[in-house]
Structure 1
Amino acid sequence: MSDISTLEGRITAALDRIRQGVDTLEWQTVADPELKASLEQERAQNAELVERVRLLKERQDTQVAKLTQRTEAQNKQLMALDEELQRLRASNAQLRDMNAQLRETVTTGLAPELHETALIAEMEALHAQRSSDAAEIDAILDVLKPLIEETSHAAG
């Protein structure tokens, strides 16, 4: 039974120490409103910083998405421009061949089917040149549009 009494005394002493600690903490928080205000201010600043970081991350993600989209569009335009240039090169090669054949036939005697073929090849070369020029102009305009928009936003 004495063990129980000893344990009871130890538990009571521990509870008294806990009460004193809690009373001391309550007294410190009540006695130091400046500390409490400082803590609240730090919490508010922390919340503000967290919000700023979130906004910066959103802005960065938006800019990365725009740049990615812009890069993909420019890559598509470059591919289209490359296709047009390949057509132009092929058409010009065909035109050179036809002109060489035409010169040869003019010196030896005119063949009407070669003349017609040469004209068709020249027209195809002109169409290919025009398509290539249009693709190049589209690529240039697409690069300039964002710059113009940025300038108009900065001015407005």
Structure 2
Amino acid sequence: MKDIDELQRRITAAMDRVAQGLEKIGNAPAEDPQTAQALEDERTANAQLTDRVRILRNRLENEKAKSENEMGALRKQVEDNLAQVTQLDIELQRVRRTNTQLSDNCEALRKANLEGVGNAQLINTAMLTELESLRAARAADVAEASAIVAVLTPLIEDATAANDANTPENEEKA
């Protein structure tokens, strides 16, 4: 990018020097019509080159702006995806934690049953832990589904836009 700016600056400076030289020559009396015509041709070429440089400069600035906009959109998409993956990870950790508690509670219930002692507190704790495990699994499923929807939504929108562009109504207009 710096090379383009430097080249553009050098070309502009050279064209300015050519224009100044042409003005000096143009102010001098023309000795023959061929020289006058060559001078006029050089002025025209210089004007055309100046226009081309201006057009290229505008194009470059437009491309820069477009690239920056695209990068911003990609950054936002990455941040959104990262947030969803983080939420999914939190929910999966919750599932693991409650499943571990559930396993511990089930083991305690087995021991109590082997001893022939029914413990209502253990049963209640096991049931509450199982309910929490089911809730955590549900939350993990919701987080996973949200992540999938977030990834698929832009793809569906792109496909829909491409499909709309290829409809017979739009093709007739083209």
Range of TM-score over shorter length: 0.7 to 0.9
* Residues 95-104 or 124-133, more deviating: 95-104
| Structure 2: gaps spanning 5 or more residues | 1-23, 165-174
What is the match of residue 23 of structure 1? 28
Between structure 1 and structure 2, the one with the greater Rg is 1
Amino acid at match of 1:111: N
1:98 to 1:40, Cα distance in 2 relative to 1, 3 A: same
Distance between the aligned counterparts of 2:34 and 2:161, measured in 1?
A: 55
* Partner residue in 2 for 1:120: 128
Q: CA deviation at 1:62?
A: 0.3
Q: How many residue pairs align between the two structures? A: 138
Q: Distance in 1 between matches of 2:148 and 2:59?
A: 37
- Alpha-carbon offset, residue 108 of structure 1: 2.1
Which structure has more helix as a fraction of its residues? 1
The alignment yields a C-alpha RMSD, in angstroms, of 2.5
Is the CA contact (8 Å cut-off) linking 1:88 and 1:129 kept in structure 2?
yes
> Which of 65, 71, 77 does residue 78 from structure 2 map onto?
71
Deviation at residue 77 of structure 1 after TM alignment? 1.2
Identity, % of aligned pairs? Answer: 32
Q: 1:127 to 1:29 in 2, by over 3 A?
A: farther
Higher relative contact order (CA 8 A, sep 6+): 1
CA distance in 2, matches of 1:29, 1:114: 109
TM-score by length of 1: 0.77
User: Partner residue of 2:12?
Assistant: none
Query: Which has the higher mean CA deviation after the structures are superposed, 108-117 or 59-68?
Result: 108-117
Q: For the residues of structure 2 that align with 1:85 and 1:44, how far apart are their CA atoms?
A: 61
Superposed, which structure 2 residues align to 1:41-120 within 5 Å?
A: 41-109=48-116, 110-120=118-128
